[in-house]
């Protein structure tokens, strides 16, 4: 299965499904953003609550996938302080 993005207008939820496996647990990783995890511990997808407040056009989706060589990949630095402080 390819990645799937769905918007539910009734619940105002944007769901991004990365792979088609059973979800073992979900965790709200940031306010209004839920990450779903499979039985293997890997990420299955994400849900964005109140999506119309954070996504400009909930009915449109555009993305690009670029492959980079390891030397070109950005290195993420640890933030100075925890999220929300």
Distance of CA 15 to the CA centre of its chain: 8
Q: The pTM is what? A: 0.68
Please give the Cα distance from 75 to 59 (Å, whole number).
32
Q: What is the mean pLDDT of residues 36-63?
A: 88
Confidence of residue 76 (pLDDT cuts 50, 70, 90): low
Please give the Cα distance from 27 to 1 (Å, whole number).
23
Residue 46's nearest CA partner among 31, 36, 60 is: 36
The pLDDT value given to residue 59: 72
Please give the Cα distance from 56 to 4 (Å, whole number).
19
> How many CA within 13 A on the CB side of residue 79?
5
> How many CA within 13 A on the CB side of residue 21?
14
Please give the Cα distance from 42 to 33 (Å, whole number).
17
């Amino acid at each position: 299965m390819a990645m799937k993005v769905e918007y539910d207008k009734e619940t105002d939820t944007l769901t991004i499904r990365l792979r088609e496996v059973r979800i073992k647990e979900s965790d709200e990783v940031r306010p209004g953003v839920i990450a779903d995890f499979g039985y293997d511990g890997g990420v299955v997808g994400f849900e964005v609550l109140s999506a119309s407040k954070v996504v400009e056009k909930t009915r449109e989706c555009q993305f690009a996938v670029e492959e980079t060589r390891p030397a070109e990949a950005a290195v993420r630095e640890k933030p100075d302080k925890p999220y929300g402080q």
